Amino acid sequence: MPETIEHFPIPELMPWQTLQWQRLCAQWRAGRCPHALLLAGQAGLGKRAFAEAFSALVLCEQPRNGQACGSCKDCRLWQAGSHPDFLRVEPEKAGSPLKVAQIRQLGDFVSRTSGRGGARLVWLAPAEAMNINAANALLKNLEEPAASVIFLLISDSPAGLLPTIRSRCQSVTFPSPPEEVALQWLRNHGLDEQLARRALILSGGAPLLAAELAEPDLCEVREQFLRELTSVAEGSTSVVRAAEHWEAPSEQTSLEQLLQFWQQWITQMAQLRSCDLTGDTQLMALLQRLPGVGEESLRPLFSFYDHLLQARKGLVSGANPNRRLLLEELMIRWARLFAV
């Protein structure tokens, strides 16, 4: 009896990825595909699925309509996670760094001949999770590319990569889609108009992240965190108590995600103040507590945003800070923004 291989569908392209797909596929068909591609853009735009769909296309024996057929032997091997010419490199667990030992294993993969007689692909994400030793190990592979090997580096924060790595990759940039395109996609996935709009704002215009943020459990965590930050700003909750409340890991969210929520709220506050708009009542209340008026009052807010950004970069790169101390430091800075 032949072995049964469990079938997983080839990822579908998102409506806002058509231009990038057409350009990359045209290069591939013309035999001009670069040996290293950097798929860059904020989280929640479907870059990983795009890289998987392209990998499946390159490995497919009989592409149809410009995409992998999903039924040939190569597609079945890819779907089963056992294609000899496809290597997926990612952290051992979410939020962990990519280790140098994982990158050094690439040497064996790229040095051997193709198992199926075609191209070989390395799918690596998130690329910015490499520490300096891992990045240098990857650089050696990029400097001396093996024939028929394509590296697909996926990054939400390409600035966190070594310039020497970025310079050896062709960038494929993924901007946020037009608002109506994103909203239509969210409506098609079951979100009502009001929830879709609010989640899209919180996500910074990234539809997949918006859909994740709209999940009831995550919505509740996010709302609780904003209420806590509001209490700290008002002085009704101490920094120590707030940090203690949020230091323990949660099944629904991580410290990195909490800081991302915080950044998103600051971005919205800056937009509301600079454009003289109205928005979320909680954010409007926080804005009214900020000392000063006009854009001048936003400078401390921008400075605090930079602190959040650096903290998130440290977490993504594999730093393991004391969660309580980090939250206390950030909340002290946050409370000072509203001190009169």
Residues 6+ apart with CB under 8 A from 240: 328
15-173 sits in which CATH class?
Answer: alpha beta
Under the banding of pLDDT at 50, 70 and 90, the label for residue 317 is low
In whole numbers, what is the pLDDT of the chain averaged over residues? Answer: 88
Give me the numbers of helices (H) and strands (E) for the chain, helices first please. 16, 5
d(CA 266, CA 213): 17
pLDDT higher than threshold 80 for residue 241: yes
pLDDT higher than threshold 50 for residue 208: yes
Instruction: Choose between 273 and 215: higher pLDDT.
Output: 215
215-337 sits in which CATH class?
Answer: mainly alpha
pLDDT higher than threshold 50 for residue 58: yes
pLDDT of residue 155: 95
Judged on CB neighbours under 10 Å (0-12, 13-18, 19+), 97 is: buried
pLDDT of residue 249: 59
d(CA 157, CA 163): 13
pLDDT higher than threshold 90 for residue 251: no
pLDDT of residue 2: 37
- Whether residue 40 contacts residue 46, with contact meaning beta carbons closer than 8 Å, is answered with no
Residue with tokens 């499946």: 56
Q: Is the pTM of this model over 0.85?
A: no
Lowest mean pLDDT among 125-139, 171-185, 243-257: 243-257
pLDDT higher than threshold 90 for residue 236: yes
Q: 254-278: per-residue pLDDT in tens?
A: 888 899 889 888 988 887 877 665 5
Under the banding of pLDDT at 50, 70 and 90, the label for residue 3 is very low
pLDDT higher than threshold 80 for residue 68: yes
CA of residue 59 relative to chain centroid, distance = 25
pLDDT of residue 7: 53
Domain ranges of the chain: 15-173, 215-337
pLDDT higher than threshold 80 for residue 289: yes
Residue with tokens 């009502």: 192
pLDDT higher than threshold 50 for residue 1: no
Q: Is the dihedral of CA 287, 291, 296, 302 positive or negative?
A: negative
- Whether residue 270 contacts residue 299, with contact meaning beta carbons closer than 8 Å, is answered with no
pLDDT of residue 278: 57
Q: What is the mean pLDDT of residues 313-323?
A: 73
Lowest mean pLDDT among 113-117, 128-132, 191-195: 113-117
